[in-house]
Chain A
Amino acid sequence: DAMVIQNPRYQVTQFGKPVTLSCSQTLNHNVMYWYQQKSSQAPKLLFHYYDKDFNNEADTPDNFQSRRPNTSFCFLDIRSPGLGDAAMYLCATSGDYNEQFFGPGTRLTVL
C-alpha cells in the first residue's frame, strides 16, 4: 500500500544532542511537509519542500533544519534540542490536490 513512513516512532535524546528524524513516502508526491505538534495543540508547519525547493516558515527556529535528498525521503535535523522541542513530529505529503497524507509521527523526548 502507498504510504508515508516515519522512523523511529519514538526517539529519546539528550538536551543539546543532535537528532535526525526520517520520513519516506511511496506515494510519489512532490510536496513533503514537517509539522511539530505539542500536546492538545494544532500541528504547526515548520517547513515544506515543493520538489527540491525548500520553504521555511518565518517563525521556525534556526535549530531546525531539513534535507530532501530525493523524492521519497525527507529528514528533519534538530541541531541542539531543548526541552521545549519535545513534541510529536509529523511528516506529510501532497500531490496535485491539497489533501495531505500524514505519517504516523515520531514522538521526541528530550532528557
Chain B
Amino acid sequence: GQNIDQPTEMTATEGAIVQINCTYQTSGFNGLFWYQQHAGEAPTFLSYNVLDGLEEKGRFSSFLSRSKGYSYLLLKELQMKDSASYLCAVSPNAGNMLTFGGGTRLMVKP
C-alpha cells in the first residue's frame, strides 16, 4: 500500500521560516509533489522533486531524500497569505497517479 505522513497542523510567525516534513512509504517512486491549498479552493502546484537534493523557487524550497523516504517544504519570509494547507503527494509509478498525504494546515500569525 501507499502511506504518506505529514503533520496535521503547524503555526508560525509572519516573517519567519517554517519547514513542513513529509515521509512516505510507497510501492514505487516516480516523484514527489507539494501543493498549496487555501480553504475552499483547489490545490495549486508548488514543486516537484524526483532526484535527491534541494529545489529552490523563490521563497519556497523543497528537499528530497529517496533513501530515507523523506521530503520537506521550506517556506521563508512567511506572509499572512501563506496560511493554507500544504499537501505532499507521491507518484508511485511511471503513470500519472498521485497519492496524497493528509495535508498540513499552516497558520501564520502576526
B residues 82-108 near A (Cβ < 8 Å) are 87, 91, 96-98, 100-103, 105
Q: Count chain B CB atoms within 10 A of each CB in A42, A50, A90, A99 and give the residue with the most.
A: A42
B63 within 8 A of A: no
Binds B, one of A12-20, A63-71, A101-109: A101-109
Residues of B within 8 A of A101 (CB): 45
Closest to B41 in A: A104
Check if B40 sits within 8 Å of A94, measured CB to CB: no
With both beta carbons as reference points, the residue of chain B lying nearest to A45 in the complex is identified as B97
Q: How many residues of A contact B (CB 8 A)?
A: 21
Closest Cβ neighbor of A6 among chain B residues: B42
Q: In the complex, A48 Cα to B96 Cα: how many Å?
A: 10
CA distance A45 to B35 in the complex (A): 16
A-facing residues in B18-37 (Cβ within 8 Å): 30-31, 33, 35
Residue positions of A touching B, CB distance < 8 A: 31, 40-45, 48, 50, 88, 90, 94, 98-105, 107
What is B's interface to A at a CB cutoff of 8 Å?
30-31, 33, 35, 40-45, 48, 87, 91, 96-98, 100-103, 105
